[in-house]
Amino acid sequence: MGSKYPKSVRVWLPLWALTLEVIFIVVFFFFTSHPASAGEQKKLLRNYRAFQDVFIMATLGFGFLNTSLRRHCWSSIAFNLFLLALGVQLAVLLDGFLIQLSFRKMVLDMSSIQKATMSATSVLISAGVVLGKVNLLQLVFMTLIEVTALSATRLVGLKYFSMDNHVSMMYIHMFAAYFGLTVVCCLQKPLPSASEDKDQTATSPSLFTMLGTLFLWMFWPSFNSALLDIADERKKAVLNTYYALAVSTVTATLMSALTHPQGKINMTHIHNAVLAGGVVVGAPSYLIHSPWLAMVLGFVAGVISIGGVKYLQVCLQRTLELHDTYGVHYTFGLPGLLGGIVHIVLMVLQAQGTDKSTLGYQVLINVGALGFTIIMGVTSGLLTGLLLNLNIWKSTHKIHYFDDQSFWKFPRLAVGY
Amino acid sequence: MGSKYPKSVRVWLPLWALTLEVIFIVVFFFFTSHPASAGEQKKLLRNYRAFQDVFIMATLGFGFLNTSLRRHCWSSIAFNLFLLALGVQLAVLLDGFLIQLSFRKMVLDMSSIQKATMSATSVLISAGVVLGKVNLLQLVFMTLIEVTALSATRLVGLKYFSMDNHVSMMYIHMFAAYFGLTVVCCLQKPLPSASEDKDQTATSPSLFTMLGTLFLWMFWPSFNSALLDIADERKKAVLNTYYALAVSTVTATLMSALTHPQGKINMTHIHNAVLAGGVVVGAPSYLIHSPWLAMVLGFVAGVISIGGVKYLQVCLQRTLELHDTYGVHYTFGLPGLLGGIVHIVLMVLQAQGTDKSTLGYQVLINVGALGFTIIMGVTSGLLTGLLLNLNIWKSTHKIHYFDDQSFWKFPRLAVGY
Amino acid sequence: MGSKYPKSVRVWLPLWALTLEVIFIVVFFFFTSHPASAGEQKKLLRNYRAFQDVFIMATLGFGFLNTSLRRHCWSSIAFNLFLLALGVQLAVLLDGFLIQLSFRKMVLDMSSIQKATMSATSVLISAGVVLGKVNLLQLVFMTLIEVTALSATRLVGLKYFSMDNHVSMMYIHMFAAYFGLTVVCCLQKPLPSASEDKDQTATSPSLFTMLGTLFLWMFWPSFNSALLDIADERKKAVLNTYYALAVSTVTATLMSALTHPQGKINMTHIHNAVLAGGVVVGAPSYLIHSPWLAMVLGFVAGVISIGGVKYLQVCLQRTLELHDTYGVHYTFGLPGLLGGIVHIVLMVLQAQGTDKSTLGYQVLINVGALGFTIIMGVTSGLLTGLLLNLNIWKSTHKIHYFDDQSFWKFPRLAVGY
């Protein structure tokens, strides 16, 4: 599996990305500064912790979530870290510029980095779909477009659809899933033999995937409550997420056994399906007043997630030739969409005092925001997919980017090739 | 290794468990609600953190602790997550019903879920003994009985033995160990050849076990201090647990080398023995006024734990045909018992002001609580074991529950069968 | 690979170490106590969290960082835990005795254990260099000398070079790297064949290394801010460390691709190089007022770290026969030195109000402190290396200390020997 890079490309590509990093530093030099005063210690503490939980999810959780394919385990973790580090820098800058809509100096505190980390998470979700089909430079390019498109979407949502920070951030699961799926639709199909080989799972990497799943599972309540400011809503978001995750875990495990011809549990189902409960209560979590509703949503998410992987995936793979290896559509896409709809329904049900016409307007504007997010995801994904199909990437297409020597020694011995 | 389920059973069993989940949701619908007001932000923060540490121990720590056997690594993590998610739901309901002794609506806040998670931990400890000898449905059944028995034991302890929340929760190590050991005594003996194969350890899963051990090690101080309300006691519990863990680690490592004929260190010893220090100071931690006593307890725990595995285990395996693969008896059972005794001794020594007769009564009632916990563990374990031996489980006995295709690809290649 | 211990040695060595543990307990008995009052709950909480982050880095991060060599993966994690548990006990005692310079009773609270854990981290860094070249007893001996030397160095720095706690602790990366490198220079060279075999990396352990890297990466901001008392400085340290880590990750990944003849990324580079950004901003982090400077330092650290491994390592290995398997020199040594220099430069630049002569004196004393730390590292390393070369260790030299049976079963099958 020798590299097919011509020498000029090998040197040029990393240099191009290094230049990007230098540009970032220059922009930071001119346009950013630390906050002047520290504020009170207590708030720093709270922010730091909330931030750390989100950071652990992005670094460890998503890093290890995509390691189950035998030939991508290393790449996925290292690429994940690389894309996160790059995406956060871009997201911090874009959030600052877009929200103040000018090029004044901006003050970056902990919560700026936190929001940027959550935005960069969208890249990690999309990377789960395209991993193994593109090289590192294409991923860098995808990161630039996706983070920009997401920041623009969130800005429009905040300004014109009167969304709040929390809800617009909870839509990123959906945005990222449909972005990634559209990109992968546009990409050239991999050769069947190579793809089959790459899809083989291995025991030990699969345990790493489980590690990623568990880290996401444990810290999901922090993710769903990170951008809520009122203590009461924050508490409800945390509790509801726990209930939904617990029920979706039980449901997904049993559904996996139920749909298997021999009554066995498929691990690749479990890796993703247990998280669907966290995704589905993302947007509406702060509006749910008793545990049972969160549990019902978790139940539905578990059923959708496993049912989707089992029946819908085969269908989509045949009609659209969509190769969604990790079932991102059923973990993040559909549950995110369901969560958005539930959020709108709950808003209507709980807005009893308001008069009819205002309510109708509110529903309209919320459905619009939901639809706009999906459309932006698909459109920017289409753009990315088409650009990634251009000839300039051809020479570097489908080439592994890791040093064979250190990587392949052990498996090569083990599997005898 | 094809599945031996008849088709009816394959469909019926998951449906039975799904029905259980639906029943849980219905009970939550009628009897639970979120807390009305949020309380102050600060308390939420503290509770959330303390809770998260316990949650990480239950999910990651115990999940990975039992992965060292080559053929159970996946099952153990996924089953652990499943049993935890199920056990917490049951424990939350039972705690509520048993403590208010009526079927009024109950308010569930963060600390309810925290206590329920700690109760569900008992299932995870017991599962460490029976794993590989029962199937998932038997584990579900075991979970239902064990959580119910533990809740009843804790209720009796709180009401009639005047124990506090902290001490009664610290007894769960002991309860869970003797419950699991009794269950495994009652179960049919596995065929020797299969058992031998299943007991093989592998390098990479064993590193995962070490990961589980380290997570438990790091967060044990949080576990031991989670239910203490007075800041001073909380601080002492944290400090003493650190000292005890440090010394038990050093002692266990050296004892393992000392008892090996060639002076080597056995990793399976280390996995469990380093934790014995945390178990032993569990109950008495808040009563220990200087570091040396915690260190002495850690030293004794390390010696007991390694000595037990080396000498007592062989003895018990021969006489009782007890197959305690992971040495749960020596990590959780004996150190927990020792901790309970030390707790009583320290209470007597520190109660200088009280008059003799009250003291005698206190000792009596504490010894009674300790004995009652063990008796309840053994009795409910016996009941579970006998029920699990019934013919209805026979057809499904000793069947792996995981999808072979994704699970066995890699090891099969590696070990050539 | 049978053990070469004579029976007397096998029994004597662990007993010697156990005696050491008993001596520790006796010293703790006579000279230490818990703090009398608990202080306020809030401070306990803050300290506990800050401490836990550092503890996770020491236990998990450094434990898994050195697992990539196929034959040391277990040893490194278990030895790491053992050395940490031992080193912390010694460091707690030494810090207490040296700072009060008498043998009065000392009060040990959470922050004592935190500082001791950070001191013991130096042993874990040095162990990364010597691992696989010494046995457990030699490591115990090394721990005793290194912790003592570091405590003495820090004491002299605090008393005579007017350093503060933060800066003197940030110098430990440098101290530990040069200590370890000097020790390994003095040790007998391992036989080439054995060494080659031991240097083979394997996929799955390498994922564990990545796990260690990620844990260090995520919690490094806590390490860099743990000893700062002013909220403003603390906040700056956290933010700057994030920026530096993000940029060093991007730079190191791209530099690795750039320096590889086929444009691939070497995983062993990534394991260490991404951390260089955290090391370099360690000392000066609280003095950096805007993000760009931290980013530039991260950029330089990434370049130094990869460049060092690629070009300087080969050079040093040839001239000094220095076998720095994990590139500790380029992760901790050089970036730590650079950080120290940057710290001095920033102090000068920001001290505009002070008059010239005071400034000159301050620069002199700071350069002195930096030089003194390195000299102490090299000197104590030299002493340790010479002592470890004595004949008493010879009989036990280069002997693995782990139980073959449980350890080697799986790889032996897998690689066919």
Q: Residue B175: what pLDDT?
A: 94
* CA distance to partner chain A, nearest, from residue B368 (Å): 36
Q: Measured between alpha carbons, how far is C179 from B313 in angstroms, rounded to an integer? A: 44
- The CATH number of residue B344's host domain is 1.10.3430.10
Do A249 and B85 form a contact (C-beta atoms < 8 A)?
yes
Q: Residue C46: what pLDDT?
A: 66
Q: Measured between alpha carbons, how far is C275 from C264 in angstroms, rounded to an integer? A: 20
Residues of chain A contacting residue C257, judged by C-beta atoms under 8 Å apart: 10, 13-14, 136, 401
Provide, rounded to the nearest whole percent, the portion of chain C with pLDDT above 70: 81
| Pairwise CB contact (< 8 Å): B265 & C205 | no
Q: Measured between alpha carbons, how far is B325 from B198 in angstroms, rounded to an integer? A: 10
- Domain contains B1: no
Q: Who wins on pLDDT, A90 or C44? A: A90
Residues of chain B contacting residue A247, judged by C-beta atoms under 8 Å apart: 21, 24-25, 85, 89
With CA atoms as reference, the chain C residue closest to A72 would be C203
- For C266-286, give one letter per residue: b (16+ CB within 10 A) or e: bbbbbbbbbbbbbbbbbbbbb
Q: Measured between alpha carbons, how far is A4 from A150 in angstroms, rounded to an integer? A: 34
Q: Measured between alpha carbons, how far is C251 from C273 in angstroms, rounded to an integer? A: 9
* ipTM > 0.95 for the complex: no
Residue A44 has pLDDT above 90, yes or no: no
Chain A interface mutation, best of B15, B79, B402, highest count of A Cβ atoms under 10 Å:
B402
Residues of chain A contacting residue C42, judged by C-beta atoms under 8 Å apart: 42
First to last CA, chain C: 12
Q: Residue C7: what pLDDT?
A: 58
How far out from the chain centre does Cα C111 lie? 19
- Computed on alpha carbons and rounded to an integer, the radius of gyration of chain C in Å comes to 21
Q: Measured between alpha carbons, how far is C258 from C275 in angstroms, rounded to an integer? A: 19
Do A132 and A72 form a contact (C-beta atoms < 8 A)?
yes
Chain C interface mutation, best of B67, B219, B295, highest count of C Cβ atoms under 10 Å:
B295
* CA distance to partner chain C, nearest, from residue B30 (Å): 37
* CA distance to partner chain A, nearest, from residue B344 (Å): 36
Place of tokens 């002299």: C156
Residue A81 has pLDDT above 50, yes or no: yes
3-state secondary structure of B162: coil
Q: Measured between alpha carbons, how far is B279 from B337 in angstroms, rounded to an integer? A: 9
Least Cα distance to B181 among B390, B386, B382, B397 occurs for: B382
| Pairwise CB contact (< 8 Å): B266 & C204 | no
- Domain contains C415: no
- Domain contains B407: no
Do B165 and B172 form a contact (C-beta atoms < 8 A)?
no
pLDDT per residue as tens digits for the range C183-231: 988 886 654 444 444 444 555 667 788 888 899 999 999 999 888 888 8
For A85, the closest of C201, C250, C289 (CB atoms) is C250
Q: Who wins on pLDDT, A192 or A150? A: A150
Which of the other chains make 3 or more beta carbon contacts under 8 angstroms with chain A?
B, C
How far out from the chain centre does Cα C117 lie? 11
- Domain contains C3: no
For A88, the closest of C201, C246, C296 (CB atoms) is C246
Q: Residue B46: what pLDDT?
A: 67
For A204, the closest of B21, B52, B204 (CB atoms) is B204
Q: Measured between alpha carbons, how far is A6 from A394 in angstroms, rounded to an integer? A: 12
Do C284 and C225 form a contact (C-beta atoms < 8 A)?
no
Please write down the HEC assignment for all residues of chain A.
CCCCCCHHHHHHHHHHHHHHHHHHHHHHHHHEECCCCCCCHHHHHHHHHHHHHHHHHHHHHHHHHCCCECCCHHHHHHHHHHHHHHHHHHHHHHHHHHHHCCCCCEECCHHHHHHHHHHHHHHHHHHHHHCCCCCHHHHHHHHHHHHHHHHHHHHHHHHHCCCCHHHHHHCHHHHHHHHHHHHHHHCCCCCHHHHHHHHCECHHHHHHHHHHHHHHHHHHHHHHHCCCCCHHHHHHHHHHHHHHHHHHHHHHHHHHHHHCCCCCECHHHHHHHHHHHHHHCCCCHHHCCCHHHHHHHHHHHHHHHHHHHHHHHHHHHHHCCCCCCCCHHHHHHHHHHHHHHHHHHHHHHHCCCCCHHHHHHHHHHHHHHHHHHHHHHHHHHHHHHHHHCCHHHHCCCCCCCECHHHHHHHHHHHHCC
Q: Measured between alpha carbons, how far is C214 from C275 in angstroms, rounded to an integer? A: 9
What total of structural domains would you count in chain B? Answer: 1
**In chain B, which stretches have pLDDT less than 70?**
1-10, 37-46, 68-74, 188-205, 321, 325, 353-354, 391-417
Q: Residue C393: what pLDDT?
A: 62
Interface contacts A/B by beta carbons within 8 Å: 186
For A38, the closest of C206, C214, C232 (CB atoms) is C232
3-state secondary structure of B107: strand
Residues of chain B contacting residue A246, judged by C-beta atoms under 8 Å apart: 85-86, 88-89
Q: At what angle do helices C231-259 and A41-56 cross, to 10 degrees?
A: 30
Six-digit token pair at A118?
Answer: 């959550």
With CA atoms as reference, the chain B residue closest to C93 would be B291
* pTM for the full predicted model: 0.87
With CA atoms as reference, the chain B residue closest to C209 would be B207
3-state secondary structure of C201: strand
Q: Measured between alpha carbons, how far is A104 from A96 in angstroms, rounded to an integer? A: 9
Structural domain containing residue B14: 7-33+42-188+204-400
* CA distance to partner chain B, nearest, from residue A229 (Å): 10
Provide the pLDDT confidence category of residue A190 given band limits of 50, 70 and 90.
low
Six-digit token pair at B320?
Answer: 């009782």
Angle (CA) C346 C352 C354, round 5°: 110
* CA distance to partner chain A, nearest, from residue C137 (Å): 31
For A247, the closest of B21, B33, B34 (CB atoms) is B21
Average pLDDT, integer, range A101-125: 86
Q: Residue B393: what pLDDT?
A: 62
For C28, the closest of B263, B267, B295 (CB atoms) is B295
Residues of chain A contacting residue C289, judged by C-beta atoms under 8 Å apart: 33-34
With CA atoms as reference, the chain A residue closest to B72 would be A203
Six-digit token pair at B372?
Answer: 């009652």
| Pairwise CB contact (< 8 Å): B82 & A238 | no
- Domain contains B331: yes
Which of the other chains make 3 or more beta carbon contacts under 8 angstroms with chain B?
A, C
DSSP-assigned letter for residue C320: T
Q: Residue A84: what pLDDT?
A: 92
Q: Residue B349: what pLDDT?
A: 86
What tens-digit pLDDT sequence spans chain C (417 residues)? 334 555 556 677 778 888 889 999 998 888 888 877 655 555 666 678 788 888 888 888 888 887 766 556 667 788 888 999 999 999 999 988 887 777 778 888 888 888 999 999 999 999 888 877 777 788 888 999 999 999 999 999 888 888 888 988 999 999 999 999 999 888 866 544 444 444 445 556 677 888 888 999 999 999 998 888 888 888 889 999 999 999 999 999 888 888 877 777 877 788 877 889 999 999 999 999 889 999 999 999 999 888 888 887 777 777 766 777 677 888 898 999 999 999 999 988 887 766 777 888 888 988 999 999 999 999 999 999 988 887 666 554 444 444 333 333 222 222 222
3-state secondary structure of C190: coil
| Pairwise CB contact (< 8 Å): B292 & C404 | no
Q: Measured between alpha carbons, how far is B53 from B118 in angstroms, rounded to an integer? A: 11
| Pairwise CB contact (< 8 Å): A258 & B18 | yes
Q: Who wins on pLDDT, A268 or C88? A: C88
Least Cα distance to C69 among C15, C132, C121, C24 occurs for: C132
Q: Residue B268: what pLDDT?
A: 78
Q: Residue B398: what pLDDT?
A: 41
With CA atoms as reference, the chain C residue closest to A56 would be C218
| Pairwise CB contact (< 8 Å): C78 & B217 | no
* CA distance to partner chain C, nearest, from residue A136 (Å): 10
pLDDT per residue as tens digits for the range A381-416: 999 998 888 766 655 444 444 443 333 322 222 222
| Pairwise CB contact (< 8 Å): B218 & C17 | no
- Domain contains B153: yes
Q: Residue A42: what pLDDT?
A: 58
Residues of chain A contacting residue C247, judged by C-beta atoms under 8 Å apart: 21, 24-25, 85, 89
Residue A301 has pLDDT above 60, yes or no: yes
Which of the other chains make 3 or more beta carbon contacts under 8 angstroms with chain C?
A, B
Q: Residue C186: what pLDDT?
A: 85
Chain A interface mutation, best of B9, B57, B81, B222, highest count of A Cβ atoms under 10 Å:
B81
* CA distance to partner chain B, nearest, from residue C401 (Å): 5
Residues of chain A contacting residue C49, judged by C-beta atoms under 8 Å apart: 45, 49
- Domain contains C38: no
* CA distance to partner chain B, nearest, from residue C19 (Å): 10
For B48, the closest of A236, A238, A415 (CB atoms) is A238
Judge residue B151's burial from the number of C-beta atoms within 10 Å of its C-beta, 0-12 exposed, 13-18 middle, 19 or more buried.
Answer: buried
| Pairwise CB contact (< 8 Å): C266 & A406 | yes
Q: Measured between alpha carbons, how far is B204 from C205 in angstroms, rounded to an integer? A: 7
Do A264 and B2 form a contact (C-beta atoms < 8 A)?
no
Mean pLDDT over each residue of chain C, to the nearest integer? 80
In sequence order, the 6+-apart residues with CB closer than 8 A to the CB of B29 are: A290, A292
- Residue C261 dihedral angles phi and psi, to the nearest 5°: -60, -30
